[in-house]
Amino acid sequence: MAEVNLRDVRKAYGTVQVLRGIDVDVADGEFVALVGPSGCGKSTLLRMIAGLEDIAQGEIRIDDRLVNNVPPKQRDVAMVFQNYALYPHMTVARNMGFSLKLAGRLQKEIDERVAAAAAILDLSALLDRYPRQLSGGQRQRVAMGRAIVRDPQVFLFDEPLSNLDAKLRVQMRAEIKALHQRLRTTTVYVTHDQVEAMTMADKIVVMRDGHVEQIGAPLDLYDHPQNMFVAGFIGSPAMNFIKGWIEDGQFHGPGNIIAPAKDAGVDTMLDGVVLGIRPEHLLLDPAGVEATVTVVEQTGSETYLLLDIDGQRINYLGRERVAIGPGDKVHIRPDPARLHFFDEKTGQRLGAPASSGLPSASLPSPGLPSPEKPGTGRGSSPHGRKAGQEPGARARAGLGSAAARVLSLVGIRADGYRPELHYMRGSGPASTRVRGGGEPR
């Protein structure tokens, strides 16, 4: 087992810069997932660790040894690919032992190692079969067996499950995770599937366009995404993004959505703010905003709704079953403890990270009067004004009153202001690209 350390790793194919300075540390025994949209450079990075691509710039260390110029065979890593082509004319046992045979190991040792790997992978009964006599999942396990028999310091996986059907993928996911818990071999696992990364990894590296956007434990990324790209990439269905502004501690969004914004760290007034709220953090509540149901999908365990609020599309996900159909009305409000705020221009998170997983302390009780109050003055907000231009009076007056608490429910405003709603998956503003998981702002 070994640590893997990447320092300012860069790669270009001709004039095309594919990796733009990657810093990642994989601890001894850790399972790290590299995740990001197709083409962001995951495979290139993995192949550089394996020694299959040369390193134009930067340093890669395995077990504290600089391996930039070490040939693949001497790096003591084993890679499992998406296309795990097995030799069709060889049995499972011979497929698994082939690399050891090439390395000139004695047959006795090969047999022992193959038997041990087969036991781990539950392949012992299949050692004499040929690949064509195996299911997809069994073949994938043989491919992993080929890596395991080598007892490497590091496992490298490149989307090993993407050729399997959905059910098998879930099963193999669990098997690979169990395997890691058993062997504790340092693992770097590439996937474009955030669910795979979330369920398997100790640590996730979110990449985009040759950069690292954020590194963290799975729930860290879910609870405290540092920018809109990570917020939109992690979680399914994707986070809702609602454009608006913050004034006097309140977020104001389309059609009159109002939400408490004390966590955004904005003193008085800031324009160009995006509220992020996950579909599963919206609550059905008679005191919330009225929304029209556009699509209903019930899976039995979950209810997914596509909602329309005054022209804005909002995704809702809940556990309760609801007897409604398209065209019906529901009332929703966001869980105030689960709000995220972003700077619209930079895409970076505003203020302190959102609270993580704790139940919200002070949910307004249902049954409070609806906050729909055209003409309360909130509707005449000077949208478009820059931060800092707001005279202090209104800010000082604040809203630390019962009115503020009522307004901290989501409300609908009547002035027709409709910022566009962003669906960010894979399309955040270019300026959110930060190198090496940089801090916001």
- List contacts with ligand ADP (CB under 6 A): 13, 18, 36, 38-44
Minimum distance of Mg ion from residue 436's CB (angstroms): 21
Stretch that binds Mg ion, among 11-19, 26-34, 37-45, 72-80 (CB under 5 A): 37-45
Minimum distance of Mg ion from residue 43's CB (angstroms): 3
| Cβ atoms 246, 269 nearer than 8 A | yes
**Interacting partner of 80 out of Mg ion, ligand ADP, none (Cβ under 5 to 8 A depending on kind):** none
Minimum distance of ligand ADP from residue 61's CB (angstroms): 21
For ligand ADP, the closer CB: 38 or 301:
38
**Interacting partner of 39 out of Mg ion, ligand ADP, none (Cβ under 5 to 8 A depending on kind):** ligand ADP
Burial profile 98-118: b = 16 or more Cβ within 10 angstroms, e = fewer = bbbeeeebeeeebeebbbebb
Interaction between residue 44 and Mg ion (CB under 5 A): no
| Cβ atoms 257, 407 nearer than 8 A | no
**Interacting partner of 348 out of ligand ADP, Mg ion, none (Cβ under 5 to 8 A depending on kind):** none
- Cα separation of 33 and 47, whole Å? 14
Stretch that binds Mg ion, among 38-46, 65-73, 103-111, 266-274 (CB under 5 A): 38-46
Token pair in block for residue 353: 């990270």
Minimum distance of ligand ADP from residue 17's CB (angstroms): 9
**Interacting partner of 123 out of Mg ion, ligand ADP, none (Cβ under 5 to 8 A depending on kind):** none
Token pair in block for residue 23: 């810093």
| Cβ atoms 401, 407 nearer than 8 A | no
Minimum distance of ligand ADP from residue 36's CB (angstroms): 6
In a 10 Å sphere around its CB, with 0-12 CB exposed, 13-18 middle and 19+ buried, how is residue 302 labelled?
Answer: middle
For ligand ADP, the closer CB: 240 or 432:
432
**Interacting partner of 411 out of Mg ion, ligand ADP, none (Cβ under 5 to 8 A depending on kind):** none
Report how far apart, in Å, the C-alpha atoms of 322 and of each of 5, 297, 405 are.
Answer: 50, 10, 28
Interaction between residue 43 and Mg ion (CB under 5 A): yes
For ligand ADP, the closer CB: 211 or 281:
211
Sign, Cα dihedral of 51, 56, 62, 66: positive
- Cα separation of 387 and 95, whole Å? 65
Q: Which residues bind Mg ion (CB under 5 A)?
A: 43
